[in-house]
């Protein structure tokens, strides 16, 4: 963030946007920290640093082709790649471990499972104690034995509990000072934690753990903390691995055999120091070397060599406000040690947590200059020309030239003289063709996602008219500033993303047009045929129809928030998941149910699209602001004053509505004007068809929310009355 890197385009590939800091996980288990205090959201960090984001798991690497293999989509090209993917837990393939044990990696799973463990403890009934076994006598297992005990006893101090630590080796805490292990044993004895060494777990079954040569041990729960194992990502790469499957690296942190690939942290083994523990402290120390060497290799400069430190400060949380510590062969303990650990952990986290619990920018990041980012236009449908601009231009066009040759022919079902979501015309043979075109500025550095969303967005206009799309043509502008190879890769990813959706829907991509311009844009011209005997149209609403919407609102402000480093990773995940979902099922159900009036909600926002329907149908609407569905984060960002670049233009429609004061003050009011990309299916449902429509929609896996009702035209000419809640 503080050292811009214009020479490189950096992309971070994430299987999940939120990382859990392992150093504070035992404290969370003990109830000392909230979950938010140990979470690092990578998305706002990346955006503030100008780094692009791909929210898809990496599954492998092809060094020869210089590609990162991704889950469910084409590989991603790289010039240089850096891996810090951590490790998994050893022994997961032993009988019953995956099904019955609580594994400590991924750490996010451990955090989720703690509540389940507590519920099982509180639900346990009977005279015998609830038995928890912790497998693993390293630092992680020792901390968890203490902190799990504290968590459960805090939930019910009177309920009997037995905690047993199982370790396959003769001594606890191998590799640490012997005095630290003695202190740990003494505290375990004081608290009634049983320690069993030379206890190798071979299997786990419901209610019991099987030990090698020692029969079985009763266990109502098993926490699995037995040490690190390699992930499979490098196993088919051809890169040299150590005997445990970890990729081997040089002192420069490059992989042995391929100097274009770097690997740090638990996923790698240093060739020259193979006995370096799989501990987070080494990954943290490697960070500055990695960052510097990536810059150096791009610049063609000599790389620095990393050498692991010979010793490091060990701090083990005992869960009761005290901790054990060790450094330079000596050990120590007490509340002051826990205060030291807490201070170190919190200072570390302050460097990475952009947003606080109230979704405000944290003090450490609030001083950053984001002025240039704030002036950037939004992508997606938030970059569409405003409704007023469009209306004025079309009005002048009709005045100057009339409808145009054949535009008012009886073959034209939908066109400029009867504007709707798509155009429709009949061929000389009588077949009805429905067609539309839509494209937008790319909203993400993930071009596969841009392509899939653009396809869903373009097809949405056909679904809104009750048509089934059959053919598509691509329209792409590639940035003139990019090298030819990058433009080719971007075009491939865009079209691959689009094909992933078009193929699912049986839509053939026949070709298209590609040009070079100042920025990346993508869209499609699409064509299809009516699903039923008549099209769904804007003028199909009648008083008494319920107004139903199938997708949540807020994609415009969420994408804006992500762009400015004010949006959380899970918010981006939810928005992306919704945007790539087509309105195909909703359209099919609407046609089958005999619905007549529908539209889709895109760049002009819900209120403008609804106003088009009201005017075309010569009716008005009664809307309930409290009923408007919202994407995660949208209401919070709007309440904080953030707006997409098209929001204010969309808000001009407020002059044509009558809004109650309590509606205007409602936190969801501004959702009415937020521009949507690949937004929901909006339709009017007559009361007699409501039950059938909603049942069929639910059966197809689509949820619809009632946001209001169609009313007779208002004497004051307002297109809608907006209330906070239903009258």
| pLDDT value of residue 409 | 67
Question: C-alpha distances in angstroms, 659 versus 52, 527, 655?
Answer: 40, 39, 10
Question: C-alpha distances in angstroms, 440 versus 298, 566, 619?
Answer: 32, 23, 32
| pLDDT value of residue 646 | 92
Residues making up the chain, counted from first to last: 727
Question: Residue 655's pLDDT band (boundaries 50, 70, 90)?
Answer: very high
Left if phi > 0, otherwise alpha if psi is -120 to 50, otherwise beta: which for 64? alpha
| pLDDT value of residue 615 | 94
- Which listed residue (133, 267, 378, 381) is catalytic? 381
Q: Could you tell me the two tokens for 709?
A: 């009702």
Query: How far apart (Å, rounded) are the C-alpha atoms in residues 674 and 604?
Result: 8
- State yes or no: pLDDT of 325 exceeds 90: yes
Taking only Cα atoms into account, the Rg of the chain, rounded to an integer number of angstroms, comes to: 30
| pLDDT value of residue 105 | 85
Query: How far apart (Å, rounded) are the C-alpha atoms in residues 4 and 567?
Result: 21
Contacts of 125 (CB under 8 A, 6+ apart): none
What domains can you pick out in the chain, each with its CATH number? Answer: 89-229+313-362 (3.50.50.100), 403-535 (3.30.1330.10), 537-727 (3.90.650.10)
Question: Residue 367's pLDDT band (boundaries 50, 70, 90)?
Answer: confident
C-alpha dihedral sign at 135, 139, 142, 146: negative
Average model confidence (pLDDT) across the chain: 93
∠ at Cα 531 (528, 533), nearest 5°?
115
| pLDDT value of residue 652 | 94
Q: For residue range 596-637, what is the model confidence (pLDDT) as tens digits? A: 999 999 999 999 999 999 999 999 999 999 999 999 999 999
Token pair 């992989």: residue: 255
| pLDDT value of residue 658 | 96
Q: For residue range 84-134, what is the model confidence (pLDDT) as tens digits? A: 999 999 999 999 999 999 999 888 888 889 999 999 999 998 789 999 999
- State yes or no: pLDDT of 419 exceeds 70: no
In the residue annotation, 381 being an active-site residue is answered as: yes
């Amino acid at each position: 963030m503080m050292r811009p890197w214009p020479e490189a385009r950096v992309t971070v590939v994430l299987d999940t946007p939120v990382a859990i800091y392992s150093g504070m996980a035992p404290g969370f288990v003990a109830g000392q920290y909230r979950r938010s205090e140990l979470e690092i959201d990578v998305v706002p960090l990346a955006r503030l640093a100008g780094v692009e984001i791909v929210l898809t798991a990496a599954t492998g690497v092809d060094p020869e082709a210089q590609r990162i293999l991704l889950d469910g989509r084409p590989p991603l090209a790289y010039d240089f790649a850096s891996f810090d993917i951590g490790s998994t837990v050893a022994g997961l393939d032993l009988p019953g471990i995956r099904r019955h044990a609580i594994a400590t990696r991924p750490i996010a799973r451990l955090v989720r499972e703690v509540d389940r463990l507590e519920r099982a403890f509180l639900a346990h009934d009977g005279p015998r104690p609830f038995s928890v076994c912790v497998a693993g006598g390293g630092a992680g297992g020792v901390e968890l034995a203490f902190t799990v005990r504290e968590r459960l006893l805090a939930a019910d101090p009177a309920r009997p509990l037995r905690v047993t630590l199982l370790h396959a080796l003769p001594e606890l805490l191998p590799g640490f000072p012997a005095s630290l292990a003695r202190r740990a044993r003494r505290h375990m004895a004081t608290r009634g934690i049983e320690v069993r060494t030379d206890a190798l777990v071979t299997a786990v079954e419901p209610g019991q753990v099987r030990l090698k040569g020692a029969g079985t041990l009763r266990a109502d729960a098993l926490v699995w903390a037995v040490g690190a194992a390699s992930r499979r990502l490098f196993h088919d790469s051809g890169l040299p691995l150590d005997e445990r499957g970890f990729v081997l690296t040089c002192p420069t942190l490059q992989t042995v055999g391929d100097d274009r690939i770097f690997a740090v942290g638990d996923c790698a083994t240093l060739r020259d120091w193979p006995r370096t523990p799989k501990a987070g402290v080494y990954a943290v120390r490697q960070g500055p070397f990695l960052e510097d060497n990536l810059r150096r290799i791009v610049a063609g400069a000599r790389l620095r060599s990393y050498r692991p430190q010979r010793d490091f400060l060990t701090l083990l949380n005992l869960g009761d406000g005290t901790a054990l510590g060790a450094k330079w062969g000596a050990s120590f303990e007490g509340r002051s040690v826990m205060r030291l650990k807490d201070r170190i952990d919190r200072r570390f986290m302050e460097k990475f947590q952009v947003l606080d619990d109230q979704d405000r920018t944290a003090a450490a990041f609030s001083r950053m200059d984001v002025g240039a980012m704030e002036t950037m236009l939004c992508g997606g449908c938030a970059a569409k020309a405003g409704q007023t601009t469009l209306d004025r231009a079309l009005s002048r066009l009709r005045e100057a030239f009339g409808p145009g040759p054949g535009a008012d022919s009886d073959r034209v079902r939908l066109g400029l003289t009867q504007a709707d979501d798509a155009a429709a015309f009949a061929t000389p043979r009588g077949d009805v063709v429905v067609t539309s075109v839509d494209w937008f500025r790319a909203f993400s550095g993930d071009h596969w996602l841009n392509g899939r969303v653009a396809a869903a967005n373009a097809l949405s206009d056909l679904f809104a008219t009750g048509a089934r799309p059959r053919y598509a043509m691509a329209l792409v502008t590639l940035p003139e500033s990019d090298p030819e190879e990058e433009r080719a890769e971007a075009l491939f990813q865009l079209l691959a993303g689009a094909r992933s959706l078009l193929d699912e829907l049986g839509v053939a991509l026949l070709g298209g047009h590609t040009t070079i311009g100042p920025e990346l844009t993508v869209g499609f011209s699409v064509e299809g045929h009516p699903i039923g005997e008549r099209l769904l149209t804007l003028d199909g609403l009648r008083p008494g129809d319920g107004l139903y919407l199938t997708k949540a609102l807020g994609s415009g402000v969420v994408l804006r928030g992500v762009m400015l480093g004010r949006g959380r990773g899970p918010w981006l995940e939810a928005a992306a998941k919704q945007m790539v979902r087509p309105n195909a099922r909703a359209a099919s159900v609407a046609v089958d149910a005999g619905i007549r009036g529908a539209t889709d909600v895109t760049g002009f926002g819900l209120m403008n699209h609804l106003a088009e329907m009201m005017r075309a149908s010569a009716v008005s609407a009664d809307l309930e602001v409290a009923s408007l569905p919202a994407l995660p984060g949208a209401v919070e960002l709007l309440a904080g004053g953030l707006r997409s670049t098209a929001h204010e233009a969309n808000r001009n429609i407020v002059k044509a509505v009558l809004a109650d004061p309590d509606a205007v003050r409602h936190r969801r009011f501004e959702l009415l004007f937020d521009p949507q990309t690949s937004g929901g299916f909006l339709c009017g449902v007559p009361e007699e068809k409501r039950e059938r429509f909603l049942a069929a929609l639910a059966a197809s896996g689509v949820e619809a929310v009632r946001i209001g009702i169609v009313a007779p035209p208002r004497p004051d000419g307002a297109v809608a009355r907006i209330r906070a809640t239903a009258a």
